[in-house]
Chains A and B, each alone.
Chain A
Amino acid sequence: MASFVSNVSTLVESGLRGPALGRRRTFTLRIGAILFFLALWSLLSGLVVALHLFNPIFLPGPWLVIGALTEMAAKGQLWIHVAATLQRVAIGFGTGAALGVALGLAAGYLAPVRNVVEPLVEMLRPIPPLAMLPMFIVWVGIGEASKIGFITYATFFPIFLTTVTGVRQIDPLLLRAARSLGARGLPLFTRVILPAALPDILTGLRLGVALAFFVIVISEFIGAEHGLGYLINDGRNFFLVPQMLGAAIVLGLLGWIGSALVRSLGRRYARGQQTA
């Protein structure tokens, strides 16, 4: 353990992160780490088989997972499920975002709107959105509408809250300056308020996307015939663990892409501004 931990010289020279490595070294190290992880995983699942530790179904090696995924992709099944999930996320998130931003801007700027909406939000905020999923099912049945409605509900809150913050944190001096330069009404809104609130709004959108992917799974466990969540839960019936793991990984990938998209949006439209 002694030489494991950084020594005093390294700590005082570059802090706990250690000396900065070149870009190439970092890259090779990252690839190496992932390969090592895959190798370890393969080794463990191999050992399970070789030593008869437990039913190997519970820990399939990475090649089985990749195999299951490629098979589903080749047969075209995978895309159907991916499309189903993406559709729900897209519509749900889109609606939630639109509502969140619209209502957020209104509530941020106009006190009467805020006074009406804020109590409702305060009451609903501590309640985990997942708890409302059954409510949506009771209201609109087990089909698409309840899933999309639920995603809308879940994504609405973070986006609404960050948008309100984004508007309210605008320096009043900025608004005063803009007004004294003649900006009023719609131009004031689009040219001053919206850009100033944009970093916070984008943060909310990023949270919303992550949340959408976070909760979509569980809504696809119940009453779905398609979707990555359905694939995962369905795998339970026949212990199709490679399918379950594969679908989970694909879901992670999609979520990551979604967040990356919002982040790149941020770089294009809110460059140089500080994010919350």
Chain B
Amino acid sequence: MKTVATRTAALVAALLAWAAFTAVNARVGFVNPVLLPTPAEVGRVTLDLLRSGELARHFFTSLVRIAEGFGLAALAALGLGLLVSLCVPLRLMVEPVIEFVRPIPPLAFLPMFLVWFGLGEASKVAFIGYTTFFPMFIAVAASVLRVDVVLLRAAASLGASRADLVRRVILPAALPGIIVALRLGIGLALFVIVGAEFMGADAGLGNLIMEGRVFFNPAQIVMGALVLGLLGSLINTLLLAAERRLLGARAAS
């Protein structure tokens, strides 16, 4: 099973394999060594960018965009997801439209957002918001709709009014699913932020990676990718911890 120990061991092993492979390549040269940066080279680039403050700047630019886009989308997804689930005619009207829009890859709309909002921050935030909204909205609605009828019946025969049912049964019952929806959203945000920053951006981790390509600095590309991976892992760990605290007592039901 994946314990922290085995995962760390795996990562260390991977690091060593990478170091070994690139070291051999640098010696033998079956591929241009520039194309296969060693961990040392990547480390050097990282330190340079850290020292100049550039890394921090790009890192936080990306982070802020994710936070803003995801935050807006999450609020909208929660509010609208709840509303749609509680009103049957509204849901029946909205569902087919969502089915229609869902298969379209969000990245296909990136240029649209650049046209609509220009090249500044707004387009990135709006794009992240759009991308994360639909899956979260669908997941929130699904978890509300899944609330077991028998729980509603039990509460009603204990005297619950409609407001009671929503506040005291539907919301708590849907909470685990809602949290999963949020985790899904943030994962998606991390996934597309890079793509969003490839074009028409002058800051951000995605921009940093793209720069690495334009200025033929693969070490920078690798650094950017690793930092992103780290950010993702961090956020994921935090969310899992938060989830366990909020839902731990319920355990498997």
Does B246 sit at the interface, judged by CB under 8 A?
no
What sequence of 0s and 1s flags, for each residue 99-113 of chain B, a beta carbon within 8 Å of any chain A beta carbon?
Answer: 011111111111110
Chain-A contact segment, one of B41-49, B69-77, B176-184, B224-232: B224-232
Interface contact A134-B210, CB-CB below 8 Å: yes
Interface contact B108-A128, CB-CB below 8 Å: no
Interface contact B152-A11, CB-CB below 8 Å: yes
Does A48 sit at the interface, judged by CB under 8 A?
no
Does A120 sit at the interface, judged by CB under 8 A?
yes
CB of A118, distance to nearest CB on chain B (Å):
6
- Which of A126, A128, A251 neighbours the largest number of chain B CB atoms within 10 Å of its CB? A128
Which residues of B lie under 8 Å from residue A26 when comparing CB positions? 92
Which residues of A lie under 8 Å from residue B161 when comparing CB positions? 8
Instruction: Knowing A7-B162, A15-B148, say if A135 contacts B112 (CB, 8 Å).
Output: no
Which residues of B lie under 8 Å from residue A10 when comparing CB positions? 88
**Contact surface of B with A, Cβ cutoff 8 Å:** 7, 9-11, 13-15, 17-18, 35, 85-88, 90, 92-97, 100-112, 114-116, 144-145, 147-149, 152-153, 156, 160-162, 165-166, 170, 190-195, 198-199, 205-206, 209-210, 212-213, 216, 218, 221-222, 224-226, 228-230, 232-233, 236
Alpha-carbon gap, A32 to B152, bound state (A): 31
Does A22 sit at the interface, judged by CB under 8 A?
no
Which residues of A lie under 8 Å from residue B198 when comparing CB positions? 130, 133-134, 218, 221-222
Which residues of A lie under 8 Å from residue B152 when comparing CB positions? 11-12, 15-16
Does A172 sit at the interface, judged by CB under 8 A?
no
Interface contact A215-B88, CB-CB below 8 Å: no
Which among B87, B110, B221, B233 is the interface contact of A218 at CB below 8 angstroms?
A: B110
Alpha-carbon gap, A32 to B218, bound state (A): 53
- Which of A6, A16, A259 neighbours the largest number of chain B CB atoms within 10 Å of its CB? A16
Which residues of B lie under 8 Å from residue A123 when comparing CB positions? 10-11, 14-15, 18, 229
CB of A10, distance to nearest CB on chain B (Å):
8
What sequence of 0s and 1s flags, for each residue 199-213 of chain A, a beta carbon within 8 Å of any chain B beta carbon?
Answer: 000000000000001
Interface contact A213-B96, CB-CB below 8 Å: no
Does A33 sit at the interface, judged by CB under 8 A?
yes
Does A253 sit at the interface, judged by CB under 8 A?
yes
Please name 9 pairs of A and B residues whose Cβ atoms are closer than 8 Å in the assembled complex, sorted by A. Answer: A6-B87, A8-B162, A12-B156, A15-B149, A33-B92, A130-B194, A217-B105, A248-B104, A248-B105
Q: Please give me the residue from chain B that is nearest to A248 by CB atom.
A: B108
Which among B18, B90, B116, B236 is the interface contact of A58 at CB below 8 angstroms?
A: B116
Which residues of B lie under 8 Å from residue A7 when comparing CB positions? 162
Secondary structure at the A interface, as helix, strand, loop or mixed, is: helix
**Contact surface of A with B, Cβ cutoff 8 Å:** 4-8, 10-12, 14-18, 26, 29-34, 36-37, 58, 118-120, 122-128, 130-135, 137-139, 213-218, 221-222, 228-229, 232-233, 235-236, 239, 241, 244-245, 247-249, 251-253, 255-256, 259
Q: Please give me the residue from chain A that is nearest to B164 by CB atom.
A: A8
Which among A12, A137, A248 is the interface contact of B109 at CB below 8 angstroms?
A: A248
Q: Please give me the residue from chain A that is nearest to B106 by CB atom.
A: A214
Which residues of A lie under 8 Å from residue B95 when comparing CB positions? 30, 33
Alpha-carbon gap, A241 to B116, bound state (A): 10
Alpha-carbon gap, A138 to B134, bound state (A): 34
Interface contact A4-B87, CB-CB below 8 Å: yes
Which residues of A lie under 8 Å from residue B145 when comparing CB positions? 15-17
Which residues of A lie under 8 Å from residue B7 when comparing CB positions? 122
Which residues of B lie under 8 Å from residue A127 when comparing CB positions? 225-226, 228-229, 232
